Every structure is written in C-alpha cells, then in structure tokens.
A = this chain, B = another copy of it.
Amino acid sequence: MSHFSFAVHATDGQARLSQLDTPHGPIAMPAFAPVGTLANVKTLEPRDLRELGASLVLSNTYHLYLRPGHELVQRMGGLHRFMGWEGPLLTDSGGYQVFSLAHRRALDEEGVTFRSHIDGSSHRFTPQRVMEIEQALGADIAMVLDECAPPLDRAYNEAALLRTHRWAERCREAHSRPDQALFGIVQGGIFPDLRLRSAEFLTELDFPGYAVGGLAVGESKEQMYATLDETCPALPAHKPRYLMGVGAPEDIVEAVYRGIDFFDCVLPTRIARNGALLTRNGRLNIRNERFAEDTLPLEEDCSCYTCRTFSRAYLRHLFKAKEITGLRLATIHNLHFMLRLMDDIRAAIGSGTFTAFRDAFHARHSITDQAVRHAQRQKRSASYAPNP
C-alpha cells in the first residue's frame, strides 16, 4: 500500500491517536465518517463537509451499484469527481444492505442473489463482482464482501464466518487497484472465540486495515463493549481499526477507549432529519412545544453555523412548517457535534487525559439522565397538582 501509510502518534491506555494517509489526503484518527449513501451526505454539499471538518466520507456500494450504477460513476471520472468531494472516501461492500433485504435475497457459497429495493429487479453480488464495483467507484478505502450475521445466534455466526473468510480471500485476490486500500471485516457476533478466530484468519491475509463488523445490530451495549474488549487486542497494532455503523456518542467514546480508530454511522444525519439534535447534555427534539419561543441557540457553546445564526424557536418553526432548510440546519449541527467530539477525543489522547475525558463524558451524561428524570417527576407532580 504505497499510496497509504498509517502511524500511531500516541496512545492512552488502548486509545490511539493516529493518522491514515490516503491518496486523497490524511485522516486524523479517531475519526468519524459521515454517510453519503447515494454519493451525497443528505442535505449537504462538499463545501459543507469541508467547513465542518469531515476528513472521511462513506458511500454505499449497494446503493450506487443500483443508482446511478458503478459504471456510470466510473465513466464520470470516479466517485470523488462525480460527487465533488476530493477528500478521502470509503465504500462499504454492500454486504450489510444485501443481508438486510431478508426475504429478498438467497445466499450460496459463491455469493448472494437479491432483489433491488427500488424495482424488484434481480442482481447478484459475488466477492469478485463487488471488487469490480468498488474498484470502479474508486474510493480510497474499499471493504470486502462479508455476511453480516445476527450477533446473538452462535450457529449462524459459526456457519457464516467460514464463508465470510473464504469471501475475504477471494476479495483479496480479485482486488488490484494500488490507489485503493482493501480492508478486511472481522465477524463472529458476540462470541469471543469466533471473533478471535476471525481476527487471526484475516490477520494472516495481511489487509492494510481491519473493520469490526456485525455490531450495533441487536446486542446490548455491554455485549458490544465486551466484544471490542476481546477483538481489538487481536488485531495488528500497526493497522487502522474501523468499527462499522456505530455512531452514538457514548459508543464512540467506549470504542475508542478499547482501541478503535474510526467510525461511520447514519445516526447523526438521520436523527437530525427527525428533529433530534445532539448536545453535550444529551439529545433534544426541536419539535417540542417548549422550544416555541426559545431564543437560545440549539446548544449554547456550539460554534456551528446553525447555532451561530438561529434560535431554537426558528428551528422549531422550520421543522413544524416542513421546510427543507430545517433538515439541513439540523444536519449541520449534528455533524459539527460529532466532529467536535472526535477533535476532543484526539486532543485528550494526545495529552494523555483520555481516561479523565471519558469519565467526565459519562458523568455529564449520567447527570443529564438524572436531571431529565427529575424534570419528568416535577412535570408529573405539577400536572397532578390541584388547581389553585
């Protein structure tokens, strides 16, 4: 991987301050990648992502394959050029989306046949085919095709893991683009022995980076964290570690604490479009009546464009009136929140204070939870109080 290099600059416990250099620039880690499913982070533009400080954007192979088609993207000069984002890009393999199709897919040793969620048309992904698609798209980081098994089903995970390993080998063989790094994906559900077996097998294949897949899809937070406790130490220390599809702030702090280097998740952008805003004191839903005449910004000490410019009352008005601009302003705030969290995490690791940072983070969340419960009790007693 001559176009790529990865260096760990500092550690604090298992947490790592690192940098991955890619053909489209460096990614300071721990990092969070916004998701641009259809070659576009919903409601935003590349200039917004740059202003927000995003260093890596994820796009979805399954979705781009169906629409507009990977060959069209290739003819348009590749995914970076097509979407106007000249920074680092990652494409997933489509495995997760295909396996989410449930009754619309059929699996065999060679691959998976599925029906499009758009028009029901039949398609087939094999490891070779997915490599063809991802290389046509041309992201800086591509992912192997894997089977994303239900994390609590041991028998399913055992069977799926062997096939996922064979597919990883085939992907490795089929992949040839020197300006694209192909990452392996460790599976095995919540079962430590399966995770270790997977980490060991994939380490042998010598991928330039490793993802932990199949988490945040049904297991408890404790099970997720325990799985990371087992898996991270089994991955090569000199290669980046990617926790796929995880983006709740508390999970990011806990995963970094266990040695994860980067993340992607639709959470901050998706909940933004539902009016749920991330703040240091927890989430608030801007549609709530109590914000109707609130002149404060979403978050008082936030420096994002939304908080610098608008009141909660205005944001609420936009959401109530179904104005598109509201979705955008909420997205800007939530991504700003996530990217500032990553800044803070990197600063804490760099200064050797990550443990204190983590404690303070959880204390704030726990205090907030208590405050919310207290407020709810107050409200209940108020509404039960007899009229004067």
Contacts and interface: CB of A to CB of B under 8 A. Distances in A.
A323 B38 CA distance: 8
A47 interface: yes
A78 to B, nearest CB: 12
Interface stretch (A325-333, A341-349, A358-366): A325-333
A40 interface: yes
A43 interface: yes
B68 A317 contact: yes
Given A40-B318, A45-B325, 5 more contacts: A39-B314, A43-B324, A45-B328, A82-B311, A324-B328
Contacts of A321: 38, 67-68
Given A72-B313, A314-B84, A317-B68, A40 B292 contact: no
Interface of A: 38-47, 67-68, 72, 75-77, 82-84, 292-293, 295, 305, 309-311, 313-314, 317-318, 320-321, 323-325, 327-329
A42 B72 CA distance: 31
Given A42-B323, A310-B84, A327-B324, A76 B318 contact: no
Given A40-B323, A309-B84, A314 B45 contact: no
Nearest to A313: B76
Contact of A324 (B46, B76, B324): B324
A295 B76 contact: yes
A47 B308 CA distance: 12
A292 B323 contact: no
A45 B317 contact: no
Contacts of A295: 76-77
A82 B47 CA distance: 25
A66 to B, nearest CB: 10
Contacts of A318: 38, 40
Contacts of A325: 40-45
Contacts of A41: 325
Given A45-B305, A314-B82, A293 B76 contact: yes
A272 to B, nearest CB: 12
A121 to B, nearest CB: 16
A67 B309 contact: no
A324 B305 CA distance: 19
A82 B44 CA distance: 23
Nearest to A39: B317
Nearest to A68: B317
A75 B294 CA distance: 10
7 contacts: A40-B318, A45-B328, A68-B321, A72-B292, A76-B314, A82-B317, A324-B327
A43 B323 CA distance: 7
B328 A68 contact: no
Contacts of A42: 323-325
A67 B38 CA distance: 34
Nearest to A38: B321
A354 B364 CA distance: 65
Contacts of A320: 67-68
A84 B307 CA distance: 11
Nearest to A41: B325
Contacts of A38: 317-318, 321, 323
Contacts of A317: 38-39, 67-68, 82
A295 to B, nearest CB: 6
A313 to B, nearest CB: 5
Of A44, A67, A72, A317, most buried by chain B (CB within 10 Å of CB) is A317
